[in-house]
Amino acid sequence: MLKIKTVLHGLIVTGLFFAVSTSVSAQSLQSEFLQAVDERRNEPELLARSVENWDNRALRIWGLMGAEACEAIRPFLDASEDVQSAALEGLANCRDTASFPEIADLAKNGGSFGVRAIALEALGFTAAEENRAAHVALVADVLASDKSDDEKAAALYGLMQSITYSGLTPADLPGLDFEQILSFAGKPGKLGFEAAYFLTRIGNLDTTLELEQLTTLDSEDADQAQTYHLTRLLSQFGEKSFTWLGLAATQHSLNSLEAQRYAVAAIRGMGSLSDPQSRTFLMTLLLDAAPEFKQLALAALAAREDADAVVQERIWNFVEDENPWLAVTALEGLVRLGDERAREVAATWLADGSFYKAFRAIALLAGSDEGRAMLQSYLDTSRDPVRARLVQGTLDPDAVRPAPVRPTVPYVEAAASDGTLITLQTTRGDITIEMFEGTPYSGHAFVSLVREGAMDGMIWHRVIPGFVAQFGQIDDMRQFSHGTIREEWGALSHMPGTVGVATAGPDTGSSQFFINLEHNRHLDGRYTVFGRVVSGMDVVYAMQEGDEILKAE
């Protein structure tokens, strides 16, 4: 059985760069296979031929086609261990809940650590809600066993993915030892990171842990990412956590990026508190902090239970701020607090404001019946085609013709994007992004938009400190006709500086992209990563909503 073990880079064939196998027939099969996957052509015979004559990884890639691909992958669970591992990844990608019993058995009894670890991770995408109790019990057994740290890390990652959007609390996960998981979070390496990250996806930790357990955790060996995530947990312990949140938040004025990361987590966490000290601290930030920290303070104040008339008046002071990000954040907070005057301002922005303010105003108005009536009134009278289209799509998504599916280009052409450098010249500085191997069609789509000039004028319309900086909205009707691209999960984790495709569901990516500001582990296997920032990451961290891409080349 021929398998590609090495991919050769830099070969130039008729001016195109692409990966080649050790035989012409395997190269041809690779191209045929990847084109079929991008077209979502479910041809089981092609899968079997590719596994036999090209590479086991075909099973993982085949899973990108969705539920209909699962049936062709399942038989490979009975193959050799290397094939078995790829099949597990494929079943995770196609979300095959029907295979939960077989995957759970491999997680417990697989013949090698590699198979068991991959099965534990695959459970994160294949364990349906009705399997949750069995999944939790399996993870609890692994954590209490003498298995390796890497295997325990895989178990925590899988459970995190399974529950990440469920809003669960310790009471929903009986049998898990949260004190043990917290102790893992102070350890160095992968287990420490996965434990800390897992805890950030759980609510009401104060029902099973004490604040002192967190603040006295021996985490000297924990890396900066772990410490950042542990800082995020503090706000779950109420006003008594302010002592530690305050210490972290005061670092907002330091030049150290690491110190500012902790400040981001702490200031955001104060939105969950209701004590006078943290309220006063947030109000003080509005006076003299940098814009990104004023923005966090505005959002936190509006989220608090003690957001009274005094707080609302202070927030109103920023609605006309010259910094559009602060103005939008302030108005968003006032809408959240139920201030009817805020909707009137949003309607004014939609009609006469900047494109960024108008775009954000649409979302603010869409959250209430009164706001939706204002949107309908605008739609009935507007002559601005872009804003009208955005409003129409918000009021009735079914009334807007979906973007066409972007045609699949030959694999050789798509793979030519590998290694391409794209520079985004923004109002805040230059950012250079490198396309990488493993996501040829996503990279090709990104490069094509640049060559078409379609990114010139795009705004950064969603910036969440400690999460992502997203761009893609533009005051141009072309944004509605770029066509959609398909998922290509698995090339790289969502590490800081990686570039991903924003979507609204499977295979709906088009012309919106994001740059990860942290290691966003829960996005793995859900959003495509196709590039990385190779210079200008300081610009990315400084990005604010409303900033613009002047030119991409």
Longest dimension (CA), the chain: 73
pLDDT in tens, 26-37: 889 999 999 999
pTM value is 0.93
pLDDT in tens, 145-197: 999 999 999 999 999 999 999 999 999 999 999 999 999 999 889 999 999 99
What pLDDT shows up at residue 206? 97
Burial class (CB in 10 A: 0-12, 13-18, 19+), 6: exposed
Q: Which helix (H) or strand (E) holds 433?
A: strand 429-435
% of the chain with per-residue pLDDT over 90? 90
What pLDDT shows up at residue 218? 72
Is residue 8 very low, low, confident or very high in pLDDT (cuts 50, 70, 90)? very low
Mean pLDDT (whole number) for 16-20: 35
% of the chain with per-residue pLDDT over 70? 95
Given a cut of 80, whether residue 11 has pLDDT beyond it is no
Mean pLDDT (whole number) for 494-516: 96
Mean pLDDT (whole number) for 484-497: 94
Mean pLDDT of the chain: 93
For 216, 274, 511, the CA distances from 416, given in Å and listed in that order, are: 52, 54, 20
Q: Tell me, what DSSP letter sits at residue 43?
A: -
- Do 268-399 and 411-552 agree at the fold level? no
Would you give the distance in Å from CA 138 to the centre of its chain?
27
What pLDDT shows up at residue 17? 30
pLDDT in tens, 382-428: 999 999 999 999 999 998 888 889 999 999 999 999 999 999 999 99
Using alpha carbons, select from 388, 339, 386, 381 the residue that is nearest to residue 364: 339
Separation CA 199–CA 202 (nearest Å): 5
Provide the residue ranges of all domains of the chain, joining segments of one domain with +: 268-399, 411-552
What pLDDT shows up at residue 15? 31
What pLDDT shows up at residue 518? 96
pLDDT in tens, 203-242: 999 999 999 999 998 767 778 889 999 999 999 999 999 9
What pLDDT shows up at residue 24? 63
Window from 13-17, 80-84, 107-111, 187-191 with minimum mean pLDDT: 13-17
CATH for 411-552 is 2.40.100.10
What pLDDT shows up at residue 222? 75
pLDDT in tens, 432-448: 999 999 999 999 999 99
pLDDT in tens, 475-490: 999 999 999 999 999 8
Q: In b/e form, how buried is each residue of 247-266, taking b as 16+ CB within 10 angstroms? A: ebbebbeeeeeeebbbbbbb
Mean pLDDT (whole number) for 334-362: 97
- Cα Rg for the chain, rounded, in angstroms? 25
Is residue 367 very low, low, confident or very high in pLDDT (cuts 50, 70, 90)? very high
CB hemisphere CA count around 88 (13 angstroms): 30
CB-CB contact of 366 with 379 (8 Å)? no
Given a cut of 90, whether residue 44 has pLDDT beyond it is yes
CB hemisphere CA count around 435 (13 angstroms): 25
**Class (C level, CATH) for 268-399:** mainly alpha
Given a cut of 70, whether residue 21 has pLDDT beyond it is no
Separation CA 222–CA 185 (nearest Å): 8
Separation CA 354–CA 325 (nearest Å): 12
Is residue 278 very low, low, confident or very high in pLDDT (cuts 50, 70, 90)? very high
Residue 69 φ then ψ, to 5°:
-85, -15
What pLDDT shows up at residue 223? 83
